[in-house]
Structure 1
Amino acid sequence: MRSGGVAHIAGVFEHPRREIPDRTLAEIHAEVAAGALADAGLGFEDVDGFLCDSTAPGWSPLSMAEYLGLDHLSYFESTESGGSSYLQHVGHAAAIAAGMCRVALITLAGTPRSDRGRVAGRGTEGPETGFEWLWGFTGPVSQYALVAQRHMYEFGTTSEQLAWVKVAASRHAKHNPHAFLPQEVTVEEVLESRLICDPLHLLDCCVVTDGGGAVVVVSPEVARALPRQTVEVLGHGETAKHTGNGRADLIMTGAVRSGPLAFAEAGVTPRDIDYASIYDSFTITVVVTIEDLGFCEKGRGGAFVADGALEAPHGRLPFNTDGGGLCNNHPGNRGGMTKIIEAVRQLRGEAHPALQVPDCELALVHGTGGSLATRSGAATLILGRSGR
C-alpha cells in the first residue's frame, strides 16, 4: 500500500521522564497519547485508528483502546518488529488513504529501568534458541559486538571511529534538559570506558530508560483543517533480515532493502536528505546503517562518521539531535519512536536552536528491531516539511 503523500504527522510527544516507577504501562501510554493529540490540536474523540506494539498491556490494541476510551475505531493493529515497529506503524497509516481511518494514534511505553532485575521472557522460546543460546549467544551486546568485530576485520574500522558516533550524540544531548546522559564525552573517554564485549565499550551502548512516546498520523483533509504545522510522510519501506539458515551476512542490515524502497517512493536520494534519525542501539548500528542506506560506500562508514560528521547543524549528515538512544532516551529498549519525534521537530524548526538544521526540508528516519547479527526488522521513512 502506497504511503507517500497520503498521510501527515500532525502531533508528537516524548515522555519527559526517564525513570517512571510510579506509573503503569497503561498510564504511560495514556500520558503520551494525550500529549501527542494535544500537540496536534485533536482529542481522543477524533481518533479512529490505533497502533501499538505487542508489549502494550493486556490484549495490546484491544485492551488499550478500551483504556483510552477510543470508541470509534475503524482500524487497529499491533505490528511487532522490536524497535522498528513504530516506523512500520507510520507507514501502515497509509490505510488512511484507503479511507479506513482519518486520525491514527501510535503509542509506545516501557519501564525496563524500573523493572530491572525481573526476568524478561521475550525470545526465550524462539526456534533458534536451542542452536544459539547453547553457545552463549544470548544478549544484544554480544551479537552487536560480533558485527563490530567483523566490520573491523573486513574494512579496518577502528574503535576510535565508532566512538565518534557517541561523541556526536553526547554533544547533542547536552542541549536536551530531559536527556538521561547530558554530559559531553570525548573519543578518549569512550575508549577508556569499561569494555562490555570486545570491541564494544560501555559508552558504545545505548541507555536503558523508562518512558514512551506517541505520534498522530492524519489524512491530508484533517491536516489542512489543523492550525499546526504538519509533516508529510513521503516514503516508507520495510523488510526483515535473518540468518539464512546459518549463512548470515553479519555486516548487512535490512536497510539495504527498506532504504531504497523509501527513497523510490519519495522520489529522492540520500544526497537530498537534510537530517537523519538513525537507530543507535550501539555505535556500530549507526555505522553499518549509514552504509546500507547509501550515504557512503560499504566499509566506509567508520571514516564517514569520524571528526564530527554527524554533528548538527553543519555536519555532513546531522543525526539524532535529541541525543538519541546513546544519550537521551531508549524507552522500553525500543528506539524507533523517539527517532520519529526528533525528525518531526527538525522539520518543524522546533529542535534546539544550537542544533536546528537550517532550511530542513527532508528527513530520513530509520528503525532497527531485533539483532543486526541474526534476525531483525528494518523500516525507513522519508518525511518532508508540509508546504502550508
Structure 2
Amino acid sequence: MDSLNGSAVVVGAYEHPGRRLPGHTIAGIHREVVAGALADAGLSPSDVDGFFTDSTAPGFGVIDLTQHLGLNCTYTESSEMGGASYVAFVGHAAAAIAAGKCRVAVISLAGLPAQGQKISPPDTPAPVAAYQVNGYGGGYGPVADYAVLARRHMHEFGTTPEQLASVKVASSRHAVHNVNAYQQGAVTIDDVLSSALIADPLHKLDCCVVTDGGGALVVAHPDVARELGRSGAILRGHGEGHKASIAGEVDLTHSAIRRSGELAFAEAGVTPAHIRYASLYDSFTITVLIALEDLGFCARGEAGPFVEDGGLVSGSGRLAVNTDGGGLSNNHPGNRGGMTKVIEAVRQLRGEAHPAVQVPDLEWAVASGTGFRLSNNHYSSTIVLERFA
C-alpha cells in the first residue's frame, strides 16, 4: 500500500482521569489505560496483536510490559520522539495493519513526572551531545529555549505578549468544562501577564502543566471497526518531519510541523480549510502560534492576530483548538502531550466532547505533536482524521 489513507481506524480511546498519582507505578498506569481503551472499543486483551509505547516502558520494555498487560503480540514498537511519539504511533500502527503485521494495535502512555520521574535516565548522553553539537540554549532548560522562539517571533512579526496569553486564555475557557482538568479556573490576559516571568517573554501561565497519568488508543483494521459498530476516527493522512536549528543558523520561527503537516494533508487529500477542529501541541503558548502557521491555518507571521479575541475558542473563534484544555490547562501526562491530542480529536469526531465545546457535525480533525525543543533538534508528526461511523 503506497498510502495509509483509510488503512486504520481509532476505535478506542481512554485518558486517565488522574493528574497527581502518588503510590502509582508506570506499569500500573499502563494497565489502567489499556483496560479503559479496550473497554471503550468493545475489545479484550486477547484481540490485540500489536503494541506501541515509548522508551520509558519499565523493565525490559515491551517484553515485560506486554506480559504485564496480558497481550500476545505479533508486532511491537518502543521508540522515542518525545511529544510527537503518540501522534506518530497512530501512523505507525496503521502502517503495520496495512502490511498485515497486526489487526488490532494498542498504543499506551504512562508517566509520573509530578512524582519526580525523569523523561530519560540521568546518565543518558544523547541530550548533552545534541547541545554540544548545536550549541543553542540546551543548558538553560526548556522554558528558555521556547522563550528564544517567542522573542524571535515578536521581533520578526510584531507578536505581542497579549497574543501569546490569548492561547492560554482559550485553553482555560475550555478547561472549565473538563472535570479532570488540572487547572480548572478560566484566566484572563492580565492573569497570564501578571504571573511569574520564567524566561522573558514567557510567564508561568504561558507554560504547560506537569501531570502524572497517561492514556491509550486502540487502532484497528477497518474490517474490525465495522464489525464493532463503534464510531471512531479513520486515518486519512500521516506525516513526520525533523528539523535542526544548526546553532541558530536556521530560521527559528518555523518548525518540523511544516513538513509533517504538508505530508499529512497531501495524503488525506484535504486542506486546512476543511478543518474546524485541531489538537495542537501546546507545551508553551508560542508552540501553538508556530503550529498554526506551519500547518497553514494562517499565513506566516499572522498567528498573533489569529488567536486574538478568542480566536481558538470553540463555538465562537476562527478555529476550535484543544477543547479539553490542552497541555496548558488540562493534562500533559508523562511530558508527552501527543496522546491527549489524539484522544480529544477522537472525542470531537465521535461527538463525545463536552457539549459546551463540541464542534457540531464535525467531519475532519487534525492532531499534531512535536518532540523535544523547537529551538533545537526536534521532531514532528501530524495526522488527519475523518469521522468513522
Give TM class, smaller chain.
over 0.9
CA distance in 2, matches of 1:282, 1:363: 21
* 1:168 aligned partner: 170
- Number of equivalences: 386
CA distance in 2, matches of 1:103, 1:35: 15
Do the aligned partners of 1:248 and 1:374 also contact (CA within 8 Å) in 2? no
Correspondences of 1:1-388 after superposition (within 5 Å): 2-71=3-72, 73-94=73-94, 95-115=96-116, 121=122, 124-126=125-127, 127-130=129-132, 137-244=139-246, 247-386=249-388, 388=389
| TM-score for the superposition, normalised by structure 2 | 0.96
Residue identity in the other structure for 1:90: V
Deviations 1:287-325 (A, max 9, x none): 011000001111111111111010012321101000000
CA distance in 1, matches of 2:182, 2:90: 26
CA distance in 1, matches of 2:30, 2:275: 31
SS in 2 for 1:105: strand
CA distance in 2, matches of 1:50, 1:164: 38
Do the aligned partners of 2:244 and 2:378 also contact (CA within 8 Å) in 1? yes
Deviations 1:114-167 (A, max 9, x none): 127999627654322435679763311010000001000111100000000000
Deviations 1:228-254 (A, max 9, x none): 112101100001111236523211101
Do the aligned partners of 1:248 and 1:373 also contact (CA within 8 Å) in 2? no
Do the aligned partners of 1:79 and 1:89 also contact (CA within 8 Å) in 2? no
CA distance in 2, matches of 1:213, 1:22: 18
Do the aligned partners of 2:119 and 2:334 also contact (CA within 8 Å) in 1? no
Residue identity in the other structure for 1:269: T
Do the aligned partners of 1:151 and 1:157 also contact (CA within 8 Å) in 2? yes
SS in 1 for 2:110: strand
CA distance in 1, matches of 2:191, 2:253: 26
Structure 1 runs not aligned, ≥5 long: none
CA distance in 1, matches of 2:98, 2:138: 46
CA distance in 1, matches of 2:345, 2:220: 17
Q: CA separation of 1:51/1:119 partners in 2, compared to 1, >3 Å: closer, same or farther? A: closer
| Cα distance, 1:43 vs structure 2 | 0.5
CA distance in 2, matches of 1:335, 1:238: 16
Q: CA separation of 1:104/1:180 partners in 2, compared to 1, >3 Å: closer, same or farther? A: same
Structure 1, 227-236 or 217-226: larger mean CA deviation: 227-236
| Cα distance, 1:23 vs structure 2 | 1.1
Q: CA separation of 1:29/1:375 partners in 2, compared to 1, >3 Å: closer, same or farther? A: same
Structure 2 runs not aligned, ≥5 long: none
| Cα distance, 1:4 vs structure 2 | 1.1
| Cα distance, 1:332 vs structure 2 | 0.7
CA distance in 1, matches of 2:69, 2:14: 16
CA distance in 1, matches of 2:182, 2:171: 12
Do the aligned partners of 1:37 and 1:43 also contact (CA within 8 Å) in 2? yes
Deviations 1:202-222 (A, max 9, x none): 000000000000000000110
Do the aligned partners of 2:13 and 2:218 also contact (CA within 8 Å) in 1? yes
CA distance in 1, matches of 2:123, 2:219: 29
Structure 1, 117-126 or 8-17: larger mean CA deviation: 117-126
SS in 1 for 2:340: helix
Do the aligned partners of 1:137 and 1:143 also contact (CA within 8 Å) in 2? no
Do the aligned partners of 1:314 and 1:357 also contact (CA within 8 Å) in 2? no
Q: Identical aligned pairs, as a percentage?
A: 57
SS in 2 for 1:32: helix
Q: CA separation of 1:2/1:80 partners in 2, compared to 1, >3 Å: closer, same or farther? A: farther
Do the aligned partners of 1:113 and 1:210 also contact (CA within 8 Å) in 2? yes
Do the aligned partners of 1:132 and 1:138 also contact (CA within 8 Å) in 2? no
| Cα distance, 1:29 vs structure 2 | 0.6
| TM-score for the superposition, normalised by structure 1 | 0.96
Residue identity in the other structure for 2:114: R
CA root-mean-square deviation: 1.7
